[in-house]
Structure 1
Amino acid sequence: MNVTCLTFNPFQENTYLLHDDTRECVVIDPGCYEKAEHEQLKQYIAENSLKVVRLLNTHCHIDHVLGNKFVADTYSVGLEIHPQDEQTLRAVPTYAPAYGFPLYAEVLPTSFLEEGDRVKFGNTELQVFFTPGHAPGHIVFYNGPEKICIGGDVLFQGSIGRTDLPGGDFDTLITSIREKMFALPDDVTVYPGHGPETTIGYEKRHNPFLR
């Protein structure tokens, strides 16, 4: 499985494209807002002859959903989120202009993902883990054979997701990390929603929020 990170919007949000040798591709948390960002995403997909088959959100804060409609419309795919984050998604239009995104266009989910579900594309399968705390319906996607986790805003290199937004809770987030993320092997690479990738083992040893 190939993991490609494209960083978009003023929040420097990491958008991920996953594909295998079948060229089927999933787009996770498209943060592309400006036309140039749309073109960058579209160009990468075209140049690599990818077929977008699924659109996933780890959670629905504004910086992770700005490109949902573009991807959904361009590639005729439905949006998949955890049901407990639908309220988070529906709130985005109410504050998007104040955050500097007056052209935000909403797309609502066509299906939902729950703990234990499997996301399949090509010859690849991702496990869904429910990891609330940063957002009420936050999920992460894990591929065991290749030891890769697309982690959204749960765990960062040397840090954790903020918990002061609506639906956030510090104790819940710490529990999600300890019970879900830290249950993974130490050599699993975590690709977060912002900043560089890290590993489970590194965060167990060095993350100041989790010692």
Structure 2
Amino acid sequence: MNYAIVSVTPFEQNCTLLWCPETMRGAAVDPGGDLPRILAAAEKHGVTLEKILVTHGHIDHAGGVAELAAQLAIPVEGPHVDDRFWIDGMPQQSKMFGFPDVRSFTPDRWLQAGDSVQVGRQTLEVLHCPGHTPGHVVFFHRPGKLALVGDVLFAGSIGRTDFPKGDYDTLIRSIREVLFPLGDEVEFIPGHGPMSTFGQERRFNPFVGAHG
């Protein structure tokens, strides 16, 4: 599985292009905005976008979903249905955070733990990791030991839990009981900031690490 990270929105959110090297068909994960930048990256790498994947319903991750899906006529998969209230409230989020008019959307497929999604000939496992939002999902490519964790975990930090229906204890359980058991060697792309590994965070992250 190949990938490229595209920083989008004033929140510098990591939109990730994932693609299958055999077919060069790919997915845009969390296209929060700045769609010309995302499309330019896909063209640069020779990737044909075939779907949109969404980790959770916050506007910096999902604000460009409706427009990109309409523009390319491609389906949307994710997040978990428990984030429906965030997606339905996308227009209100856009006013609150000063984004241009942003439309809500209904995914073609809500996801839950145990599901899988296809990108070209590659398979990603779906993990439900609530806490930052109740419907947050993580996409895991087991053969490549790569996880796209949205705003669950960051290098040296964790996701905020002070938004509606966020919960700190639930987030910590998601990280320790769902993500860390995948293996120390797994690299992850967070929603913001640099990549890291679960091993690095398990050892040193002050919130969930060995000394946290």
| Same fold at TM > 0.5 | yes
Specify the SS of the correspondent of 1:116. Answer: coil
Which position in structure 2 is the counterpart of 1:138?
136
Which position in structure 2 is the counterpart of 1:31?
32
Which position in structure 2 is the counterpart of 1:202?
200
Which position in structure 2 is the counterpart of 1:7?
7
Q: Deviations over 1:54-94 (max 9, x none)?
A: 11110001111111022201221122221111111112212
The alignment's TM-score, normalised by the length of structure 2, stands at: 0.94
Which position in structure 2 is the counterpart of 1:114?
112
The alignment's TM-score, normalised by the length of structure 1, stands at: 0.94
From 144, 162, 165, the counterpart of 1:164: 162
Which position in structure 2 is the counterpart of 1:182?
180
Identity of aligned residues (%): 41
- The structural deviation recorded for 1:106 is 2.4
User: Could you tell which deviates more after superposition, 92-101 or 198-207?
Assistant: 92-101
After the TM superposition, which residues 76-155 of structure 1 pair with which residues of structure 2 at under 5 Å, given as runs?
A: 76-81=73-78, 82-155=80-153
- The structural deviation recorded for 1:164 is 0.2
- The structural deviation recorded for 1:49 is 2.6
Q: Deviations over 1:133-186 (max 9, x none)?
A: 000000000011110000000010000000000010000000000110111110
Q: CA RMSD in A?
A: 1.1
CA contact (8 A) 1:79 1:107 kept: no
CA contact (8 A) 2:91 2:101 kept: no
CA contact (8 A) 2:31 2:63 kept: yes
What amino acid is the match of 1:83? V
User: Could you tell which deviates more after superposition, 39-48 or 181-190?
Assistant: 39-48
Tell me whether 1:72 sits opposite 2:69 in the alignment: yes
Work out the number of aligned pairs and report it.
Answer: 207
